[in-house]
A and B are shown apart, each in its own frame.
Chain A
Amino acid sequence: MNRATATQSLSVSLTVGAYGLAFGAASVAAGFSVLQSCLISLLTFSGASQFALVGVIGAGGSVVSAVTTASLLGIRNMLYGLRLAPVIKAKGVKKILAAQVTIDESTGVALSQERLGQREMRQGFWLTGVGVYLFWNLFTLVGALSAQAMGNPAAWGLDAAVPAAFLGLLWPRMQNNRDRTLAVCAALLALLLTPYVAAGVPIISTAVLAVLFGLRGRR
């Protein structure tokens, strides 16, 4: 086993685990039980999709808006799978496991081993995927139990921790001025629509902005 690959996988797993703490707390604050919060992390296992699900439901949104927003955020995992399938070469049950741990981090570590070879890419993928899975779920449980013990979310600042967590997910994705302009337009559109349409709909509506910005091409 390549030592550098293993070290990178472990440090990524530990760091991401901390997001699990924020998710567990956000999920309970949104009204999900501790058991349901843990099941979301075990079954969905995709940070942005999970935060979107509990964010929309917590704001009083419908099941359809919550599921649509979470699924749109999950589409990038499909593109990661497309890129990784020829490298991972998994079959049967292993293919199902590979799909379940295909996330930003396992893909990122796998692709960053490209210079070392396919064996190291596979190692990086599995170590990071499984490592993040373990820490993410463990910390979800801790976060959910802590939030349950807290009572009023606002008294502990949980009401601000949730948008701060979203911002932490958004920040590294904004690479240029087009990205930042889109982010500002999306925030404004969502706020403008909030008084007039059902909860959750303002969030999904901003996907239209992403399509418009994408069609206009690179600038």
Chain B
Amino acid sequence: MSIFWISLLVTSALVFIIRFAGYLVPEKYLTNPTALRINTLIPIALLSALVAVQSFTDKASIIIDQRMAGLGVAVIALLLKAPFPIVVIGAAATSAAIFHLG
């Protein structure tokens, strides 16, 4: 089996087990304020790391290319409270334009 199949099946199984556990565990557990705070912070750290790695790396090197301009447009769109499709399309169009010019 390829890494694609294995990663897709294992992720799906684990994500389901984790969310199903919420329906089985009595609510009195997992109400520790520190644990709840960490739980809201983990997505912020991971998503931010993903943005950085997907924008500025290629294999194991740090590079700056057309994606940075795309990301810049996404930031501006988000600051202007643009809806999600505009954010993504704006980033894609900018990056594609620079790719073809370059």
Size class of the B contact interface (CB-based, 8 Å)? 35 or more
Digit string of A34-54 for contact with B (CB within 8 Å is 1, else 0)?
001001100111101101110
**Contact at A74–B71, with CB atoms within 8 Å?**
no
Shortest Cβ distance from B13 into chain A, in angstroms? 8
User: For the complex, is A134 an interface residue (Cβ under 8 Å from B)?
Assistant: no
User: For the complex, is A19 an interface residue (Cβ under 8 Å from B)?
Assistant: yes
- A160-B66, A161-B88 are known contacts. Are A174 and B44 too (CB-CB below 8 A)? yes
> Please, how many angstroms separate the alpha-carbon atoms of A205 and B99 in the complex?
31
User: For the complex, is A157 an interface residue (Cβ under 8 Å from B)?
Assistant: yes
**Contact at A164–B45, with CB atoms within 8 Å?**
no
Contacts of A179 in B (CB 8 A): 41, 44
Q: Which listed residue (A36, A163, A173, A206) contacts B54, Cβ 8 A? A: A163
- A57-B4, A168-B84 are known contacts. Are A72 and B19 too (CB-CB below 8 A)? no
Q: Which listed residue (A52, A85, A161, A204) contacts B22, Cβ 8 A? A: A85
Contacts of A127 in B (CB 8 A): none
**Contact at A190–B49, with CB atoms within 8 Å?**
yes
Q: Which listed residue (B60, B92, B94) contacts A194, Cβ 8 A? A: B60
User: For the complex, is B51 an interface residue (Cβ under 8 Å from A)?
Assistant: yes
**Contact at B15–A49, with CB atoms within 8 Å?**
yes
**Contact at B46–A191, with CB atoms within 8 Å?**
no
Contacts of A218 in B (CB 8 A): 37
User: For the complex, is B101 an interface residue (Cβ under 8 Å from A)?
Assistant: no
Find the A residue at minimum CB distance from B93: A157
Q: Which of B55, B66, B78 is the most central at the interface, judged by chain A CB atoms within 10 Å of its CB?
A: B55
Residues of A200-219 at the interface with B, using a CB-CB cut-off of 8 Å, are 202-207, 209-211, 213-215, 217-218
Contacts of B62 in A (CB 8 A): 191, 194-195
**Contact at B74–A168, with CB atoms within 8 Å?**
yes
Digit string of B65-93 for contact with A (CB within 8 Å is 1, else 0)?
01101110111001000011101111111
**Contact at B41–A158, with CB atoms within 8 Å?**
no
Shortest Cβ distance from B62 into chain A, in angstroms? 6
Q: Which of A46, A60, A62 is the most central at the interface, judged by chain B CB atoms within 10 Å of its CB?
A: A46
**Contact at A173–B44, with CB atoms within 8 Å?**
yes
Residues of A35-89 at the interface with B, using a CB-CB cut-off of 8 Å, are 36, 39-40, 43-46, 48-49, 51-53, 55, 57, 59-60, 62-63, 66-67, 69-86, 88
List 28 contacting pairs A-B, 8 Å CB cutoff, sorted by A. A39-B8, A40-B11, A40-B12, A52-B46, A52-B50, A55-B53, A62-B3, A71-B18, A81-B20, A82-B30, A88-B23, A90-B23, A95-B20, A102-B19, A156-B96, A159-B67, A160-B92, A163-B71, A164-B74, A167-B74, A179-B44, A183-B48, A186-B46, A188-B52, A210-B44, A210-B46, A213-B45, A217-B37
In the complex, the 4 A-B pairs of residues with the closest C-beta atoms, listed nearest first? A81-B22, A160-B70, A157-B92, A160-B95
